[in-house]
Structure 1
Amino acid sequence: MRDMNMTRRRAGQLVMGASAFVMLGGCALRPGRVSAAVPGVGPVQPDSYKDGLLRSTPEAQGVSSDAILAFLADVESAGLELHSFMLMRNRHVVAEGWWWPYSPGRIHMTHSLTKSVTAVAAGLAIDEGRFGFDDKVVSFFPEYVPADASENMRAMTVRNLLTMQCGHDVETSGSVWRPIDTPWAAEFFKIPVVHQPGTHFQYTSAASFMLSAIVSRTTGESMADYLTPRFFEPMGIDRWHWDSSPAGVSPGGNGLTWNTAASIKLGAVHADGGTWNGHRVLSEKWVREATTEQTPGDADGAYGYQWWMGPGKAYLALGLFSQMSIVFPEHNAVLALFSAIKGSKKIKPYIWKHFPAAFVADTLPADPGAVALQRRTAGLRLLPPLHPASLAAPAGISGKRLAVQTNDQGVEWLSFDFVGDRCTYRMRDAHGEHEITAGFGEYLEQDTSMTGNRLHHEYRPPSQRVVAGARWTSPQTLEMTWQFVETAFRDTLVCTFASDGVTVDRSVNLNSAEERLPTLMARID
């Protein structure tokens, strides 16, 4: 699904780092890492990404370090999984942290946080006169409109898409359309418009997709390309990538992957009324309307133009599994989070408990808590340490292809290669051969084509970044951890060996659908 529309640049030069890129004809191609022992595989490397943002101490910007520490403590006590956070006030980052192996330069899937970026494109296009709020949606795609289209469908406007009041009665998740290879605009007009547009709120990625499709139809380019000179480049957002739908339209409701700094910049330009570093990026009128209540919404809160409303005057971009950019406009502050939390209602109480209360004054005296906060954020870690293998692989297994019994995953065979302190797991299915090499003593970072769509909200990129480790939990049981570090997903493989074969159980830390695949059973011939 990747459209290779991602760049990694700094000071006009391509940055070659832990996920190296080669630029050819404007496209970014990602080769694997190189290690002397196993080509394409290596230990996790440090991150030296520079985001161009100003830094300050919390107290210098009137923020309580103790309040930030209390927020982190509450989240940890609740067992909630954060991958990163950045807190900005007065255009200065005052606190930040990444739970290893996540790091500043890594991109991370945003899910529906993408919708608020789609709103940026819609606002720019409307201000340029490409289309208007009251334009009928059917007018842009007459080739897809059914001959017997209902009056409700014909009445739907751009404004209805922006406010999630397009008249649909059910949500269309991105996971529904991702496996479809026909134009998604055609799929949109197959959805019944049960309610009169403008009278019923129904959150749905279908509405956001159609905004993207309208931007593409009226500008002649994908929304990702349209935004590049108008938003990504002026904002210094230099690490991103946006999936493409079958017709080349950027999925407006999801599909954007970028780093934490980009999320906080998205919030910051809105907090400052549409300006960035003294230059106007968005019109003040658009920002004001997009980030104030346009509809009461639903149980999750009121809604603007592809932005959720929070307590007080706060508003937020929100993605599945709790990807967030939260703006506190009265305090000129933004909090950005990447997470693996199923249900934002689990973390929101802790956010609203500590913010905006942490913004105490214009400035505060220096506080020892700032040192404690720096120490805390410097030692954040998600994956537990590994230890060299203390057990040997079962005899007669290493290097053998094991035929897999008929299964619903289409897996034909699998194999385990144990070399030194590493194990390479390979398997073949209808999409080809895939492999991941896991280290026993250290986590190994690599690109892989390992299929994971059923456990990963139906995403099936041709290549994705993974950090993999392994351990023996018993003489017969091998456990591998695959952290897909550009996503919220972490897969666990439990492989149980017997004299006549092996069983493989694969599960994921969270998903919108199934979280465990049926057991694979392979036999030694």
Structure 2
Amino acid sequence: MKKLPILFILVCLLGLSTLTIAQDTPEEQGISSRSIVEFFEALEKAQPDALHSVMIRRHGLIVSQGWWAPYAPETPHLLWSLSKSFTSTAIGLAQDEGLLSIDDLVISFFPEDIPEELSSNLKAMRISDLLRMNTGQAVEPSFRNMQSDNWVEAFLAHKVDYKPGTHFKYNSMATYMCSAILQKVTGMTMVDYLSPRLFEPLGIQKPTWETDPKGINVGGWGLSVRTEDISKLGQLYLQKGNWEGKQLLSEAWVEAATSNQTSNGSNPESDWDQGYGYQFWQCRYNAYRGDGAFGQYCLVMPEQDAVIAITAGSDNLQGILDVVWEYLLPAMKEGSLPRDDAGLELLHQKQQGLAISYVAGEESSPLASDISGKVYHFEENTRSIKSISFNFESSPVDITISTDQGERTINAAFSHMEKGTMPNPSLVSDKVAVNGAWENPDTYVINLIYYETPQSVKHTFTFKENSLLWDTENKASFGSRKARQLKATL
């Protein structure tokens, strides 16, 4: 019989939340601490400065967790499409309560929003087709190009080329429609509906979710929670919907949602070609996952009784999973391993030292005193930036930007990440951590990390005799990574 750790026993006796508090050594749960160190190092080597956090659960206990500063345990992280798995859970709960059936027709919920001419394909679309990404729409409706405040009406007006259920096409607006249906039948937003049914029982605190112009949580993206919260969702599914002895979600829903509901490819080496469930991707090695852009993962491994939660800002999503399969999967053994205090200390040191790299360069430059305080004026540009000035005499460096909306100052530190705010209309959070250095005598570089999202922005300022060139590069971007260069003069 497997021995239970003392902390686990004490938590149970006190009636506390075992999955929130209980932790154990990796060896006790069948994983070598040294193997986890190798896993972290392989991630960093394969994807420098791309990882934001990792939490590993085995047999229900946290055996390793780490955050790359400035990311931190208490900080929420934008999930992008990993939000879809939470939306799926809400639909499952609503079906369990008898509020809807996934066999219900989509148009039955929105008689006021259907187009005048109804195609036979639109008439046939069901909630199950939304969940399986089988709407029959050959082209995904784009919320970014939405011309109307009524997103439901726009979705229903979009051409349905194929019979629903016959063609897989990834479709975030299909997940939005699940949220709209839930709000229609309950009168509550997704967040309000899930709060007493999922968030509060699991101890998920202060979740936030983007909304459409009519106040509907967007469903397919836009949820922000902590890394631990991601792992709790995975643990709930691993336990077939049971949490601390209470069946929150039916076992039947968990089985259906995480099974192969539709084929989406044939490449045996790709974790995007193994099939799709109800807003969960099938993986190799009989695993499944919730999955968001730039490397947001809730990876559930039933055969290993493990859950891996990952947040990142990566452009190589398969690469992250490949490292899991190569290093972590074979490290999970049956039964406990011999105690390894030295290996455990190596792991603790590794976890405590995780951090995004600082900008490489010097703290000052011979040009700094000449430039400091001068105002550079820009030609008219699409970013509405009028001028910029630098105060290199201060520490951290003050960078003041004037736009059509007013002035904003960024503080860039050399030996640490200076926290502040910088609005970004495409992101849900304006909180940033900023580091800067002189890359060479005439080039100053700062890195803005939006540490509640996967995104970061590198700004390079090249100073000429009486002018300035400003280059911008976005990391973890849906569009072009590089913005058009701006030119300014004194």
- In structure 2, what is the equivalent of residue 282 of structure 1? 249
Contact 1:241 1:257 in 2 (8 A): yes
Q: Post-superposition shift, 1:410?
A: 2.4
Name the stretch that deviates more: 207-216 or 78-87: 78-87
Report the Cα distance in structure 2 between the residues aligned to 1:426 and 1:149, rounded to whole angstroms. 55
Match of 1:259 among 226, 239, 249: 226
**Corresponding residue of 1:227:** 194
Among 111, 114, 123, the residue aligned to 1:154? 123
Measured in 2, the distance between the counterparts of 1:100 and 1:366 equals: 29
Cα distance, 1:172 vs structure 2: 4.3
Q: How far off is 1:355 after superposition?
A: 4.2
Match of 1:216 in 2: 183
Are the structure 2 counterparts of residues 97 and 415 from structure 1 closer, same or farther at C-alpha, using a change threshold of 3 Å? same
Distance in 1, Cα, partners of 2:286 & 2:383 = 48
Q: After superposing the two structures, state which structure 1 stretch, 56-65 or 316-325, moved more.
A: 56-65
Q: SS state of the match for residue 66, structure 2?
A: strand
CA distance in 1, matches of 2:347, 2:372: 47
Letter in 1 for 2:41: A
Which letter maps to 1:447? T
Counterpart CA distance in 2 for 1:339 and 1:172 is: 26
How far the C-alpha of 1:523 sits from its partner, in A, is 1.8
Change (3 A) 1:239 1:354: farther
Question: Please, which of 312, 333, 339 is the counterpart of residue 312 of structure 2?
Answer: 339
- In the TM superposition, what are the counterparts of 1:270-419 in structure 2 within 5 Å? 270-298=237-265, 300=272, 301-367=274-340, 368-384=342-358, 389-391=363-365, 394=368, 397-419=371-393
Shift in Å at residue 419 of structure 1? 4.2
* Alignment map for 1:48-67 (pairs within 5 Å): 52-67=20-35
Q: Deviations over 1:56-102 (max 9, x none)?
A: 00111122323323322322332352111010011110011111111
Which residue identity is paired with 2:240?
G
2:484 corresponds to:
518
Q: Distance in 2 between matches of 1:181 and 1:471?
A: 45
What amino acid maps onto 2:354 in structure 1? Answer: L
- The CA distance in 2 between the partners of 1:304 and 1:275, in whole Å, is 20
In the alignment, does 2:36 pair up with 1:68?
A: yes
The SS at the match of 2:385 is: coil
Structure 1 residue 400, shift from structure 2 partner? 4.7
Q: Residues 347-401 of structure 1, C-alpha deviation per residue, up to 9 Å, x if partnerless?
A: 2222222343222012222134333222222211212378873335545644454
Displacement, 1:329? 1.5
Instruction: Give the SS at the match of 1:106.
Output: coil
Aligned length in residues: 465
Aligned match for 2:473, one of 491, 507, 517: 507
Q: Which of 154, 158, 161 pairs up with 1:187? A: 154
**Aligned pairs (5 A) from 1:82-161:** 82-161=51-130
TM-superposed CA distance for 1:163, in Å, is 0.7
Q: Offset at 1:430? A: 4.6
Aligned to 2:269: none
Deviation larger for 167-176 or 363-372? 167-176
- SS of equivalent residue, structure 2 residue 460: strand
Q: Which moved more, 1:303-312 or 1:422-431?
A: 422-431
Deviation (angstroms), 1:175: 4.7
1:156-193 CA-partner distances (Å, limit 9, x unpaired): 0001011111111123466555xx66122122123211
**TM-score computed with the length of structure 2 as normaliser:** 0.89
Distance 1:442 1:354 in 2: 31
Q: Which moved more, 1:435-444 or 1:312-321?
A: 435-444
The counterpart of 1:207, out of the listed 174, 196, 200, is 174
Answer whether contact 1:415 1:426 (CA < 8 A) is retained.
yes
The one-letter code matched in structure 1 to 2:196 is: P
- The range that moved more, 223-232 or 238-247, is 238-247
Cα distance in 2 between the residues matched to 1:211 and 1:111: 16
Deviations along 1:90-143, whole A, 9 cap, x unmatched? 111001111111111111111110000001111111111221111111111222
Contact kept, 8 Å, 1:393 with 1:418, in 2: the verdict is no
* Match in the other structure for 2:461: 495
Instruction: Report the CA distance between 1:298 and its aligned residue.
Output: 3.2
Instruction: Provide the secondary structure at the position in 2 that maps to 1:371.
Output: helix
CA distance in 2, matches of 1:342, 1:91: 30
The answer to whether residue 406 in structure 2 is matched with residue 435 in structure 1 is no
Q: Whole-Å Cα distance in 2 between the matches of residues 497 and 315 of structure 1? A: 50
Contact 2:114 2:156 in 1 (8 A): yes
- Counterpart of 1:479 in structure 2 is 445
Per-residue CA deviations over 1:251-307 (Å, capped at 9, x if unaligned) read 111001111101100100000011112222211111111111111123612011100
Q: Is the 8 A contact 2:417 2:434 kept in 1?
A: yes
Distance 1:107 1:191, change over 3 A: same
Residues 417 and 143 of structure 1, relative CA distance in 2, 3 Å threshold:
farther
- Conservation of the 8 A alpha-carbon contact between 1:318 and 1:325: yes
Question: Alpha carbons of 1:282 and 1:388: their partners in 2 closer, same or farther (altered >3 Å)?
Answer: same
- In structure 2, C-alpha distance between the alignment counterparts of 1:428 and 1:437, rounded to whole Å: 15
Q: Which residue of 1 aligns with 2:209?
A: 242
In the alignment, residue 206 of structure 1 is paired with which amino acid? M
Structure 2: stretches of 5+ with no match in the other structure = 1-17, 267-271
Offset from partner CA, 1:194-251 (integer Å, 9 cap, x none) = 1100111111101110001101111111111111111111100114221111110111
Say if 1:216 and 1:249, in contact at 8 Å, map to a contact too: yes
SS in 1 for 2:90: helix
Normalized per residue, which structure has more helix?
2
TM-score (norm 1): 0.84
Are the aligned partners of 1:387 and 1:441 in contact in 2 as well (CA < 8 Å)? no
Identical pairs, percent = 34
Residues 309 and 316 in structure 1, CA contact (< 8 A), matched pair in contact too: yes
